């Protein structure tokens, strides 16, 4: 992931947000020389959303990209995203049909001012991502909320490939299985919040 990130043309900082007890990951992240933070809570429900919200609160960069370690950045991704003309930009993961049609994204570049002024959720259930979900559908809510506010654009040329086992790009492991453990429940939560999301201001 870091090697591919070197294609980025604008200055950037990398922040690793690790779970306590995940010593192998912590050691690897620290060895890169990039800022590595170990969270004060055990990995559990809404862990990804909590980490992104924590990272937002403890940084000050004007633009933020939400990602994980299963990404491959393609040349020009940053210039394409920044030229898209919106404060919330969906990137192209190269695989998801919904992403290819520009309806949705799994990874985003967004302006800090967007979160400061409007928040990433329609109801304040998280600074950037809602902590109402276990894991799935936080990106759906983030996308649809930004769309309802006229703050969203999909940048098809901003390619950040998702090397996920669903697309045959990685092996299933405990982390991926954990992400899918509450999919049905998360879908029900998303459906229950849909009217509020579509009316987001």
pLDDT of residue 89: 98
Q: How many distinct structural domains can be found in the chain?
A: 1
This model's pTM is above 0.75: yes
Low pLDDT (below 70) residues in the chain = none
Q: What is the CATH number of the domain that holds 180?
A: 3.90.550.10
Q: Determine the structural domain holding residue 25 and report its residue range.
A: 2-198
| Residue 112 neighbours by CB distance under 10 Å | 16
Residue 115's nearest CA partner among 83, 151, 161 is: 151
pLDDT of residue 175: 86
Tell me the three state secondary structure of residue 154.
strand
């Amino acid at each position: 992931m870091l090697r591919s990130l070197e294609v980025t043309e604008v200055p950037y900082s990398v922040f690793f947000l690790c779970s306590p007890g995940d010593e192998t990951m912590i050691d690897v992240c620290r060895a890169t020389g990039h800022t590595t933070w170990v969270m004060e809570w055990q990995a559990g429900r809404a862990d990804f959303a909590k980490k992104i919200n924590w990272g937002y609160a403890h940084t000050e960069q004007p633009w933020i990209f939400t990602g994980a370690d299963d990404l491959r950045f393609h040349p020009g991704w940053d210039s394409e995203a920044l030229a898209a003309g919106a404060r919330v930009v969906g990137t192209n993961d190269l695989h998801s049909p919904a992403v290819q049609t520009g309806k949705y994204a799994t990874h985003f570049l967004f302006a800090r001012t967007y979160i400061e002024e409007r928040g990433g959720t329609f109801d304040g259930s998280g600074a950037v991502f809602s902590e109402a979900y276990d894991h799935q559908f936080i990106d759906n809510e983030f996308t649809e909320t930004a769309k309802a506010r006229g703050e969203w654009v999909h940048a098809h040329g901003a390619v950040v490939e998702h090397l996920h086992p669903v697309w045959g790009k990685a092996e299933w492991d405990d982390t991926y299985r954990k992400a899918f453990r509450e999919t049905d429940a998360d879908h029900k939560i998303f459906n229950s919040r849909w009217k509020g999301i579509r009316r987001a201001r």
